[in-house]
Copies of this chain bind each other. A is one copy, B any other.
């Protein structure tokens, strides 16, 4: 190649895994994507050490693969579970990692001698889909990541929206049933209490109660209903299990109520759903779209496509790279 390329490194820090990789400035391709277990038990210092090793590995592989020099790397974008203090690069509190007020951005930056930025992981995942994934071409994009919890990210008028104190986008903690299930957050009837992975598994166990013989679910996990996960439910639904199919349909209805709220509030052009739940495929997306059509305002429904994420493994890293680019260069 004739024009010299510059690179940005992205790190997506999760409670279970760390994913890292690089992209050229224009985001045209993913380079040296890799995953390691977080092993948060070792403490924050050990996690920073592991992140630094991964970044070094990404640099070395990118240099080999793309003929780059060390000076061609502009910096590191980091995505981490919130709440965060973005301006100061601090992770305020993360139950999954056990951190409090940890200056993650500067610890990593110091260790790898590169500039760094920090943003919320769900924000990064949404920005990744907006820049290079399923939401390309959108201007107002709502991203939802459905996993152990339900995270959310908002791209409004082409920019990540953070709110007054960096905690905007907690879509999982919007009430769809004000007198409904207690949520871990203390509120009642949060979307997350119905449609997160553990909530889906719990609803399946409730549906089975007394009728375990009617379904393949319990057999699939060796006879112990406690071992049922959302994954089991999707799998059984695909195999035609009636109980599992009803749980997936119900999930679509709950998500439909939540997504309809987002359509009526934001009038987005794209809603991207990512995370394990999207493995259910059309079994989930068809009733979900039908429920949204039934509930939301017609002009909002007409303006919006509801799609699964296109970067299941790398959205967080791609988005972390994009946040670095936006925060340091001002635009994507």
Residues of A with Cβ closer than 8 Å to B?
83, 139-140, 152, 154, 156-157, 159, 161-171, 173-180, 185-189, 253-254, 257, 260-261, 264-269, 294-297, 299-300, 302-304
Contact = CB atoms under 8 A, between A and B. Distances in A.
Given A161-B157, A164-B303, A168-B266, A177 B179 contact: yes
A83 B299 contact: yes
19 contacts: A140-B164, A140-B168, A154-B265, A162-B267, A163-B266, A165-B303, A168-B265, A168-B266, A168-B267, A170-B265, A173-B264, A174-B174, A175-B295, A176-B177, A177-B178, A178-B254, A187-B294, A187-B295, A189-B257
B297 A164 contact: no
Contacts of A253: 178
Secondary structure of the A contact surface, majority rule: loop
A260 B157 contact: no
9 tightest A-B CB contacts, nearest first: A163-B267, A168-B267, A178-B257, A170-B264, A174-B261, A165-B303, A164-B303, A164-B269, A187-B295
Contacts of A186: 294-295
Nearest to A257: B178
B177 A300 contact: no
Contacts of A176: 175-178
Contacts of A299: 83, 165-167
A27 to B, nearest CB: 23
Nearest to A258: B175
